Structure 1
């Protein structure tokens, strides 16, 4: 049997003295836990004998009582206060709280180390080691079986049955299961988890205590993963924190397995989206493939961003999957492209994961599979405006400064009318006046910077711009003509599917 607080108090070499809470002396002690943190209960699972230096004890009686109440709520077995010269007086409020909560408060002499108390508890509980080792062996046995392919069970499901408790592997931000095929948790438990995570600013302390309405107290610990996850245990035998962290290791393996499954789905989705952009799938097949992913062209849109190698884009498929957001993602050249539902919440989740400084271009509603390539061009053109748009997000067709381009057909008409003579001349003569003009506009009509960018003499740039004026019938010194030329390049970018800025 485990040692009790009374057993520890009665060990002569420790010279512990009972201050208050005699009715709690029969509580069992799992181990001794030393902590001077402001909220040590965040790292307790129950059964701990909390050891605290006297100098870190609050001087105010109400604060001392609050400390005890919080430890009692976390299931502590008792509190040991180490006496030292800076220790404040133990107040009557602390005594009253100890009696009320049946939680013993002991004092330790300045000459007695906390290590001695911890060793005494460990020695007293040595008979319990074999049972704990057996539980730990079951945990890693379940992992071996899973990794060896000898069972179709997830290790968490199997361990929950073996230990006689409920184990849940949940997304930290949403409370949904990491595995989209797993059943949803009890709503009260999910609400308690989200409230607990929110109370800690999204971070998980050593152990998060959850008290869902009408349910037994549950414990949650962080699981290391690319996307934040927690392991929640309800009715864990002995409320053993060390066992809980071994279970978190098993959960990390399952999380990694789920990440592999999601990565496989991402690759298949990227292949499908590439085929849709390149019109390599007929309409009926496209609708059937999209329906299998949960997407419907009648209520979908294309989103474009500039590609980067950051974790936001790299792990976006995990974020969207855990939030049950149907999606297809594709990296092509310097672009990052997504097909999502036309739902503000889905778009907001994507933008939040990529970061508020990421510029997004959004198409109009796709409507049909045949229009997906056009929607891609719309999203890329909108991306060229997103850098200066409110919230760094622009949607094709919204009211902007450049409202002339309302459709692909209008873009084609503008490009042909304004740039057509230049393009025809370049094709016939093997020149690139069109590219020189675009470079000139990008460099704010600076002869010197344009010459450097094109690696030619400034006089060559001046000659080329004179030829441009002759062919287009537009003067580069006229604001109206410049605006028309710039919009024509935007139209060309829309048609070619390359973003400009």
Structure 2
């Protein structure tokens, strides 16, 4: 007769405990030396790499038909599960179960990892329930740990000591917790303690081995040190919570920790949003020449930007969220910057450092047209804006996109500088622009459309949604004001180059 729940031991169940339960009718295949391993949970998985979802202490349950047939592959399954801290493996036999190999048996004995067999009629649900029943005391302890996690989180967020939730949780649980940016392993909190170099390298290597895709639980190889596990934290930027020496770890506890860490990530996001707004205001003052030189130098230094080595970047953007996203990425990568939206342009003031500029371009995309000014200083930011916009137009006109820097001789244009562009616009298009401003007419736009549509009266009229006679009248007026005729190739060429210059000065496409 089965014992009552009151008599269930408070100590964790072992593989031997599960094997001895008569109603499960389990049998031992190999790995007898591992029968004393404690079992925290029974975990069913037919994934190719189930160890990526283990935190330690699980009994892996696997359908026989999904077991690899080759002996080497069976042995590898045992080895990887042992490395992940599994308590044992249970094979649910079915008509398609391949023969369990000698290689599997040898690996199980070598790693002291018990491999059990379950009859086809035994449900994995029954095994899971049996393990849960056997661990009633452990379950209560786990709930106590979870309660401690959320209690520490609540107290940390309510306190005014500046103590971060992860730091406090680490002390409460008797381990080390690190909330890190996935790409760099930098702390999410700029004031947080960075991992030591060896741990940082280990985390980055483990993430790289998974191509940046964090499984349920990432086991970070750290020879000679405590167990290091990492779990993904929900957030706008890829983030991981790294646990070092977490006692009694299990998958559910780790993901509760990740949920708590997400609150801290959101809190850091609000602080960074405040920083972004302050930076935008400073950049607006510099662009509009509203900042005094001495004060500007101090403000830039406070943002870790060197006043003598600045560059302004310009890029077209689709929505205001791109500014926030870029700010978050650069902050995580410790790239000093100021960002500002002006119309459909996103501008960034950065240190003229190849590494920082590479981070920005990777975030924007290698083929995104990007304009860069020449190296600048606080007293000529407005000029740098014109240079960046000019360069952006060149970048949008070159095949393949990518960045273009002001003065870059590889960017083809018949116009060599901003001054030359302004001069030709004033000399050739100046009379038209002045006439349009004074009279509310659209002669400049009509001329450009006429040239774009290969001097076709009909196509130009259709594009402008006017009568063909209206186009003919406007073009005649253009010829009078510019003292040029559209029957002469030289005059057409000069007008088209003037439109190129106008487009470059206003950050438009050259086509």
TM range (shorter): over 0.9
Matched, 1:404 2:405: no
Q: In the alignment, is the contact (CA less than 8 A) between 2:184 and 2:333 conserved in 1?
A: yes
What CA deviation, in whole Å up to 9, does each residue of 1:187-226 have, x standing for no partner?
A: 2222222222222121100000001354323000000000
Q: Distance in 1 between matches of 2:59 and 2:489?
A: 79
TM-score (norm: length of structure 1): 0.94
What CA deviation, in whole Å up to 9, does each residue of 1:129-163 have, x standing for no partner?
A: 22212211111112222333455211100000111
- Equivalent position to 1:460, from 447, 467, 470: 470
Q: Distance in 1 between matches of 2:325 and 2:227?
A: 33
Note the 1:68-147 alignment, pairs <5 A.
68-147=78-157
Q: Secondary structure at the match of 2:163?
A: coil
Q: Distance in 2 between matches of 1:38 and 1:295?
A: 48
Q: Secondary structure at the match of 1:404?
A: coil
Q: How many residues align?
A: 498
- Equivalent position to 2:431, from 421, 428, 451: 421
- Equivalent position to 2:217, from 204, 207, 218: 207
Q: Cα–Cα, structure 1 residues 109 and 229, in superposed 2: closer, same or farther, change >3 Å? A: same
Q: Distance in 2 between matches of 1:134 and 1:65?
A: 38
Q: In the alignment, is the contact (CA less than 8 A) between 1:381 and 1:494 conserved in 2?
A: yes
What CA deviation, in whole Å up to 9, does each residue of 1:80-104 have, x standing for no partner?
A: 0011000001000011111110110
Q: Secondary structure at the match of 1:216?
A: coil
Q: Secondary structure at the match of 1:237?
A: coil
Matched, 1:216 2:233: no
TM-score (norm: length of structure 2): 0.92
Q: Distance in 2 between matches of 1:337 and 1:446?
A: 38
Note the 1:205-244 alignment, pairs <5 A.
205-244=215-254
Q: Secondary structure at the match of 1:491?
A: helix
Q: Secondary structure at the match of 1:238?
A: coil
Residue 178 (structure 1) aligns with: 188
What CA deviation, in whole Å up to 9, does each residue of 1:342-389 have, x standing for no partner?
A: 2233223222222345321221112x2121111111211222222232
CA RMSD of aligned residues (A): 2.0
| Structure 2 unpaired stretches of 5+ | 1-10
Q: Distance in 1 between matches of 2:501 and 2:251?
A: 62
Shift of 1:391: 4.0
| Structure 1 unpaired stretches of 5+ | none
Q: In the alignment, is the contact (CA less than 8 A) between 1:165 and 1:236 conserved in 2?
A: yes
Q: Cα–Cα, structure 1 residues 458 and 354, in superposed 2: closer, same or farther, change >3 Å? A: same
Q: Distance in 2 between matches of 1:429 and 1:75?
A: 81
Shift of 1:404: 2.4
Matched, 1:304 2:314: yes
Note the 1:226-305 alignment, pairs <5 A.
226-305=236-315
Residue 371 (structure 1) aligns with: 380
